[in-house]
Structure 1
Amino acid sequence: MPVDAFAHTFAVAARPATVYAHLADPRSYVGLSPLVVAVRDVRTDGDQVTYVALERFRFYTNPIRVTMTLDPEAPSVVSAVVSPGRVRLRAAVTLTPSGDGTEVTESITVESPSLLRRYVLRQARAVQLKRAAELTRRMAATG
């Protein structure tokens, strides 16, 4: 299966600890990721959090299994997503202090069947950019 990777870096007006706390809570992804409309079955085991996110598309709801690995020292959040249709996505978010705020870098690797590749890449990139804009908005509201 084809594997694609891309990254996006942006700044938010909040300290890394504030951004990390927000990203480490699965419930924050409702609305943060524009397709995620609900989160359920949240379980924490050490530095890992697993949950099911419900993505709403035009004609269907897609349940995806997510495993987040948390590292408050880095700080970073790595999410491994298993979606129906043999789509696998890994999103690694690293947070770096920058003045009074934080530089956020999200690196995404996605593996998908050739038939779905263009659609999956388009969706993943659009969601990444919308998530960056929404996180920027939310963090501005905390300051």
Structure 2
Amino acid sequence: MKTVEFSTITKLPASPEEVFSHLADPNNHVGLSPLVVAVDNIRRESDKVHFTATERFTLGPLRYNNVIAVTMGLGAETISGEVVSPGGVRLTYGYRVDAAPGGTKLVDHYRLSAPFGLLRFSVSQAKKVQAARSLELLQRFEKNRSY
């Protein structure tokens, strides 16, 4: 299996504590990725959170719900995660949450492995999700920002 890595950086108008707390709560992941439509079975440990997420793929009138197992590790300024998806797709992701002038700098890093034939599709979907997540986070924190 081939592995691909990529990152995005987003500046958010919120404190690092607010951003970390938001990303550490699986319930906030619904809509954060345009694919994630539900989160269930949340189980918390001291420094980990386990849950299942339902991703919805659509192609014209066809819809496919892909249920994935997610484990998030909670560090000091980092959140890391592992996703096990059907078809042999594996995703490791990480958020680095750092203070920046006027808010927070969020680095969103992906490491994705997939079998030949699924890699191109998986990478294109993951990059779309990253871009959408940046925009959604900006909208969420702009909406909650007090002037």
TM-score (norm 2): 0.94
Q: Distance in 1 between matches of 2:104 and 2:93?
A: 18
Q: Distance in 2 between matches of 1:70 and 1:137?
A: 24
For 1:31, what is the secondary structure of its paired residue? coil
Q: What fraction of aligned residue pairs are identical, expressed as a percent?
A: 39
For 1:32, what is the secondary structure of its paired residue? coil
Q: Point out where structure 1 has 5 or more consecutive residues left out of the alignment.
A: none
Structural RMSD (CA) = 0.7
**Aligned position for 1:61:** 65
Q: Distance in 1 between matches of 2:101 and 2:33?
A: 26
Aligned residues: 141
TM-score (norm 1): 0.97
Q: Distance in 1 between matches of 2:11 and 2:67?
A: 30
Q: How does 1:39-54 map to 2 (within 5 A)?
A: 39-54=39-54
- Letter matched to residue 27 of structure 1: N
For 1:114, what is the secondary structure of its paired residue? coil
**Aligned position for 2:122:** 120
For 1:115, what is the secondary structure of its paired residue? coil
Deviation at residue 100 of structure 1 after TM alignment: 2.2
Q: Deviations over 1:13-56 (max 9, x none)?
A: 00000000000000000001110000000000110000000001
Q: Distance in 1 between matches of 2:92 and 2:134?
A: 16
Moved runs in structure 1, 4+ residues, more than 6 A? Answer: none
